[in-house]
């Protein structure tokens, strides 16, 4: 039978061990909820908190810095969340840190994420109200995804229809499969290449010519490069200008003359526009016609007159001879 | 008629057990308290049961971890293993297994010890010599189990969680700091405190049933065996009933 003191010692150790484990366990759980550390209480106002509960973690740059202490509805569109931030962590957080409600992993608990804000902010104090941003809502994401899926389905249908159309006879696929066309195309490309080579050699030729011109070779070069030629050309151009001036003066004279002709009373105007003169002229011409017919008759009568008959017979003989010698 | 007799016997047993428990409460805070005997009983029932409870808790933690891994691995949730094992162990497995082990070990030993004292009329002799046998024998034993079982349960929790870490490290490599962080991240006061509270009732049930069966032993040495056996059976059953009540209360209080 074990001695009483030994038994008491074992019992004491047993009880102490059990109590120690219990106390440590409770302390660890309590420290998780920041029950035993000094905290600052700050607030953030959200439109909705997506199932956030008191006790959920608060993270700053991914590190647990506190817990959600209390959630209260303040109006029909706002929820005020009080956050207990551990004092040693609160020293690093500024008043412009932005609070968002997030999720720990894909399916985990809700939590409040604090992210450093832009610019400088003061140190946190009890009761500071942090700015908040709209949390990432999985429902909203799923709704968007649903819409995207519908769009994707429509696009897939279109693509399928397009593919079906492409596969039918006489369409783009046939065009792509046509070997003759491919041959023609390659021949055309060959031609284009040859043309391009020609163009290149032509360009080279032009280049050479331009080089010659620059160096003063050939007629063009001489023209461009020789100062004497330049003077001649300048002289030529001066003469040309004088000629053109004279031509201009002459043209103006002709114009004036034509204008004078066309003015009422001028010859041209009288000829073209005076109707009386036209009638006179017509009458005169008809009289001339009659006169010439009478004269013609008189002349034929004169030919038969014995006085002049000899002359006309001689003339006829000369004419006949002429036609015989000229076959 | 046998059924009616069975029910009748059960009702009588329940009534007598309740009266025995009432007698304990009447004597529990008596100023002439047997501290020395309480310490002796606490040592026997508490630290004396630790090896058995410790081995059981270690095996339970390890087996639960190894058995749960394939299912969790199928969902890619192996990292949830510490949380799952910790919650199962702390909320249910450690209290119930510890209580059942103690019902077997302590309940049977109480039933047999007190039963043999009863049949050999040592209890009557005590009364004659002026010592209150109930205060000396029953009250100290019931207090010892009531106070020691929660300690055993807490230690069983710790051992089972450590065994779970060993189980995780059979396949994976998880450091102890990470493991216990994952464990405590998943636990809440609502997991530990109801389990801790119900273990007092388990301990009380074991002590009361063991002492009652011992004190009511009759019919000689045969009765001693029957007392030892029925103490284990009734205590075990009572533990499950208490567990059922406890889970409903914690559920009503919103602690589950």
In this predicted structure, what is the pLDDT of residue B256?
64
> How far A170 CA sits from the closest chain B CA (Å)?
53
- Considering only CB atoms, A14 lies closest to which of B40, B47, B184, namely B47
Angle at B204 between CA B202 and CA B207, to 5 degrees: 110
**Sequence-ordered list of residues with C-beta below 8 angstroms from that of B230, at least 6 positions apart, any chain:** B111, B213
Angle at A306 between CA A302 and CA A312, to 5 degrees: 65
pTM of the model: 0.59
Q: Summarize the confidence of residues B13-30 as an average pLDDT.
A: 89
Residue B239's pLDDT band, with cuts at 50, 70 and 90, is very high
B43 neighbourhood in chain A, CB within 8 Å: 7-8, 10-11, 14
In this predicted structure, what is the pLDDT of residue A236?
87
- Residue B244 above 90 pLDDT? yes
> How far B184 CA sits from the closest chain A CA (Å)?
6
Q: Of B65, B81, B68, B66, whose CA–CA distance to B178 is shortest?
A: B81
User: How high does pLDDT run on average in chain B?
Assistant: 89
Q: A35-39, A150-154, B222-226 — which is least confidently predicted?
A: A35-39
- Considering only CB atoms, B47 lies closest to which of A10, A25, A55, namely A10
Q: Do B152 and A18 touch (CB under 8 A)?
A: yes
- Residue B1 above 60 pLDDT? no
Could you say which DSSP state residue B31 is in? Answer: S
Distance CA B239, CA B99 (A): 7
In this predicted structure, what is the pLDDT of residue B85?
92
- Residue A213 above 80 pLDDT? no
Interface with A, mutate which of B44, B46, B47 (most A CBs under 10 A): B47
Q: What percent of chain B has pLDDT over 90?
A: 54
Q: Summarize the confidence of residues A142-148 as an average pLDDT.
A: 91
- Residue A326 above 70 pLDDT? no
Q: Could you report the per-residue pLDDT of A73-119, keeping only the tens digit for each?
A: 988 888 999 998 888 888 888 888 889 888 877 667 788 888 888 88
Residue B2's pLDDT band, with cuts at 50, 70 and 90, is very low
Q: Summarize the confidence of residues A174-191 as an average pLDDT.
A: 81
Which chain B residue's Cα is nearest to A7? Answer: B43
In this predicted structure, what is the pLDDT of residue A104?
79
- Residue A33 above 70 pLDDT? no
Would you state the structure tokens that stand for residue A20, as one six-digit string? 């120690």
Would you state the structure tokens that stand for residue A92, as one six-digit string? 């690093």
B180 neighbourhood in chain A, CB within 8 Å: 28
B185 neighbourhood in chain A, CB within 8 Å: 32
User: How high does pLDDT run on average in chain A?
Assistant: 83
In this predicted structure, what is the pLDDT of residue A107?
67
A103 and A110 in contact (C-beta within 8 Å)?
yes
- Considering only CB atoms, B158 lies closest to which of A14, A21, A32, namely A21
Which chain B residue's Cα is nearest to A57? Answer: B185
Q: Do B196 and A32 touch (CB under 8 A)?
A: no
Q: Could you report the per-residue pLDDT of A215-224, keeping only the tens digit for each?
A: 777 777 776 6
- Considering only CB atoms, B155 lies closest to which of A21, A26, A55, namely A21
Q: Could you report the per-residue pLDDT of B174-208, keeping only the tens digit for each?
A: 888 888 888 988 888 888 999 999 999 999 999 99
B253 and B156 in contact (C-beta within 8 Å)?
no
- Residue A206 above 80 pLDDT? yes
Containing H/E element for A49? none
DSSP secondary structure letters along A205-259: HHHHHHHHHHHT-HHHHHHHH-HHHHHHHHHHHHHHHHHHHHHHHHHHHHHHHHH
- Residue B46 above 70 pLDDT? yes
In this predicted structure, what is the pLDDT of residue A3?
67
Would you state the structure tokens that stand for residue A186, as one six-digit string? 């390659």
Higher pLDDT, A279 or B93: B93
Higher pLDDT, B154 or B171: B154
Q: Of B237, B234, B236, B244, whose CA–CA distance to B17 is shortest?
A: B234
Chain A residues with at least one Cβ partner in B under 8 Å: 4, 7-8, 10-11, 13-15, 17-19, 21-22, 25-26, 28-30, 32, 55
Higher pLDDT, B92 or B174: B92
């Amino acid at each position: 039978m074990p001695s009483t003191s030994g038994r008491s010692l074992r019992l004491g150790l047993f009880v102490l061990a059990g109590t120690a484990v219990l106390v440590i366990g409770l302390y660890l759980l309590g420290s998780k909820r920041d029950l035993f550390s000094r905290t600052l209480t700050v607030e953030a106002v959200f439109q909705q908190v997506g199932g956030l509960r008191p006790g959920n973690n608060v993270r700053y740059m991914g590190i647990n810095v506190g817990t959600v202490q209390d959630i209260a509805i303040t109006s029909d569109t706002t929820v005020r969340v009080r956050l207990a931030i551990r004092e040693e962590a609160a020293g690093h957080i500024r008043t412009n840190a932005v609070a968002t409600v997030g999720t720990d992993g894909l399916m985990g608990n809700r939590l409040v994420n604090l992210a450093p804000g832009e610019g400088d902010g003061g140190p946190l104090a009890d009761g500071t109200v942090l700015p908040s941003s709209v949390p990432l809502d999985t429902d909203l994401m799923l709704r968007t995804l649903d819409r995207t899926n519908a769009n994707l389905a429509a696009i897939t249908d279109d693509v399928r229809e397009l593919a079906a159309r492409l596969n039918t006879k006489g369409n783009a696929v046939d065009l792509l499969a046509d070997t003759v066309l491919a041959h023609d195309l390659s021949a055309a490309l060959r031609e284009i290449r040859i043309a391009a080579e020609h163009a290149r050699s032509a360009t080279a030729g032009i280049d050479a010519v331009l080089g010659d011109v620059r160096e003063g070779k050939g007629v063009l070069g001489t023209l461009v490069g020789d100062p004497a030629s330049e003077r001649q050309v300048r002289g030529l151009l001066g003469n040309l200008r004088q000629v053109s001036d004279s031509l201009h003066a002459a043209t103006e004279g002709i114009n004036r003359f034509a204008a004078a002709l066309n003015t009422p009373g001028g010859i041209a105007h009288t000829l073209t526009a005076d109707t009386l003169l036209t009638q006179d002229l017509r009458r005169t011409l008809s009289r001339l016609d009659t006169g010439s017919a009478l004269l013609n008759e008189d002349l034929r009568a004169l030919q038969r007159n014995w006085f002049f008959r000899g002359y006309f017979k001689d003339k006829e003989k000369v004419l006949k001879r002429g036609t015989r010698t000229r076959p | 008629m046998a059924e009616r007799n069975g029910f009748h016997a059960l009702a009588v047993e329940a009534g007598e057990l309740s009266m025995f428990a009432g007698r304990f409460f009447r004597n529990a805070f008596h100023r002439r308290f047997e501290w020395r005997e309480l310490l002796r009983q606490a040592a026997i029932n508490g630290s004396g049961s630790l090896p058995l409870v410790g081995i059981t808790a270690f095996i339970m933690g390890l087996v639960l971890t190894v058995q749960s891994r394939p299912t969790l691995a199928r969902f890619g949730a192996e990292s949830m293993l510490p949380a799952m094992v910790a919650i199962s162990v702390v909320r249910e497995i450690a209290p119930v297994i510890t209580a059942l082990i103690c019902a077997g070990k302590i309940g049977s030993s109480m039933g047999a010890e007190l039963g043999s004292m009863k049949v050999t009329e040592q209890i009557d002799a005590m009364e004659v010599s002026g010592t209150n046998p109930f205060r000396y024998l029953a009250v100290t034993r019931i207090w010892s189990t009531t106070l020691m079982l929660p300690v055993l349960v807490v230690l069983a929790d710790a051992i089972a969680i450590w065994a779970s870490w060993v189980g995780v490290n059979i396949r994976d490599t998880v450091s102890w700091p990470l493991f216990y962080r994952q464990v405590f991240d998943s636990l809440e006061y609502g997991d530990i405190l109801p389990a801790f509270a119900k273990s007092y009732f388990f301990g009380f049930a074991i002590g009361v049933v063991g002492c009652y069966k011992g004190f009511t032993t009759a019919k000689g040495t045969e009765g001693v065996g029957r007392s030892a056996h029925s103490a284990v059976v009734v205590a075990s059953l009572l533990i499950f009933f208490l567990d059922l009540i406890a889970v409903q209360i914690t559920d009503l209080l919103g602690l589950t």
